[in-house]
């Protein structure tokens, strides 16, 4: 006989009820629905099946994946932060958890499709609309006329995000320029190696705020997002592609470069995924690229709290492979 189900009970943990985040301790029953966060306050790393949870947090220092280590004195504040995010944006929170779960079983490009479909749905949702009402609309600065610079030395190509005036924001123009440059490298019959880096104090602060919410045809936006995915091309380049990351790598500013096979970070590296607080999920490939680097549980925790990590933690988690001098 099939296992008994509790469909009405599951509805109580629907994002439409606004209470889908469940914080559990070791040994607590895991609900069949909702977003489950396991908290190990004792730092004992109890044996659990990670597949049953969306995030696992412990007070044990330097805990192995998929656990996230949080100092005991900071744990309650961080739990309050993720609870607030989930309460404010329950649909986006649930959708991110589900996209991450589904993505584990898909190949890279199929997982990008799932991410983009979910992202387009959220662009039309009430949580994003509420964020737009109060969001700052000032542009991050002036974008360079040629936002991506191409240079070749023998069998090596260097692409440089060259718009420090707006902190290399991933505007549509920047994305298109980067996509076209990556396509040229990918299809070059001489198979050059690629290094992607940035000019200025940071690699990229992600999307430019005035462009958020500007799409009117969300179906077409999905097609553009997938067809012009820079993360997809970096992934296709395989071992030929390296990135050098410095300063702030926010949102798409980490989602895209995380798709490269080799990732080098400067000591001042700062990584953040703020999309859930906007009523969105990472939409430039991060649910695939970042999740495959650090695991879906750690990504979920970072996104829930919009927490920042530096170079040492990024190295420990596998988001970067080396810290450059």
CA distance linking residue 271 with residue 44, whole number of Å: 28
- Sheet arrangement for strand 35-40: 21-24, 35-40, 55-58, 67-69
Check: CB of residue 317 under 8 Å from CB of residue 293. yes
Q: Whole-model pTM? A: 0.93
pLDDT digit string (tens) for 245-294? Answer: 999 999 999 999 999 999 999 999 999 999 999 999 999 999 999 999 99
pLDDT digit string (tens) for 112-135? Answer: 999 999 999 999 999 999 999 988
pLDDT of residue 134: 87
Domains contained in the chain, CATH given = 7-88 (no CATH), 108-324 (3.90.226.10)
* 319 has a pLDDT exceeding 60: yes
Model confidence at 215, in pLDDT bands (50, 70, 90)?
Answer: confident
Compute the average pLDDT of residues 304-318. 98
Lowest mean pLDDT among 9-18, 209-218, 302-311: 9-18
* 15 has a pLDDT exceeding 80: no
Bridge-partner residues for 252, per DSSP? none
Q: How far is CA 230 from CA 60, 157, 253, 259, 287, in A?
A: 37, 16, 11, 9, 14
pLDDT digit string (tens) for 61-110? Answer: 999 999 999 999 999 999 999 999 999 999 999 999 999 999 999 999 99
Ordered DSSP codes for 218-250: HHHHHHHHHHT-HHHHHHHHGGGEEEEE-SEEE
Question: What percentage of the chain carries pLDDT values higher than 90?
Answer: 85
């Amino acid at each position: 006989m099939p296992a008994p189900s509790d469909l009405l009970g599951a509805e109580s943990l629907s994002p439409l009820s606004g209470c889908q985040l469940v914080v559990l301790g070791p040994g607590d029953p895991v609900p069949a629905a909702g977003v489950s966060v396991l908290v190990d306050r004792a730092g004992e790393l109890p044996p659990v099946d990670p597949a049953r949870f969306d995030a696992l947090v412990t007070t044990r220092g330097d805990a192995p994946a998929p656990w996230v280590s949080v100092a005991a004195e900071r744990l309650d504040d961080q739990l309050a932060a993720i609870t607030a995010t989930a309460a404010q944006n329950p649909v986006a929170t649930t959708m991110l958890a589900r996209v991450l779960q589904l993505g584990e079983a898909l190949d890279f490009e199929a997982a990008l499709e799932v991410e983009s479909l979910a992202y387009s749905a959220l662009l039309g949702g009430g949580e994003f609309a509420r964020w737009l009402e109060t969001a700052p609309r000032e542009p991050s600065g002036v974008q360079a006329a040629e936002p991506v610079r191409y240079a070749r030395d023998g069998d090596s190509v260097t692409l440089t995000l060259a718009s420090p005036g707006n902190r290399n924001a991933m505007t549509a123009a920047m994305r298109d320029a980067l996509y076209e440059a990556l396509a040229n490298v990918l299809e070059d019959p001489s198979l050059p190696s690629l290094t992607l880096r940035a000019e200025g104090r940071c690699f990229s602060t992600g999307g430019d705020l005035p462009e958020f919410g500007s799409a009117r045809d969300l179906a077409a936006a999905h097609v553009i997002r997938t067809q012009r995915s820079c993360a997809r091309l970096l992934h296709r380049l395989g071992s030929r592609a390296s990135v050098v990351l410095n300063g702030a790598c926010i949102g798409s500013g980490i989602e895209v470069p995380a798709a490269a096979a080799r990732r080098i970070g400067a000591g001042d590296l700062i990584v953040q995924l703020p999309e859930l607080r906007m009523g969105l999920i990472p939409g430039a490939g991060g649910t695939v690229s970042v999740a495959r680097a650090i695991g879906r549980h750690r990504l979920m925790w970072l996104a829930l709290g919009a927490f920042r990590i530096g170079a040492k933690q990024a190295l420990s988690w596998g988001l970067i492979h080396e810290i450059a001098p």
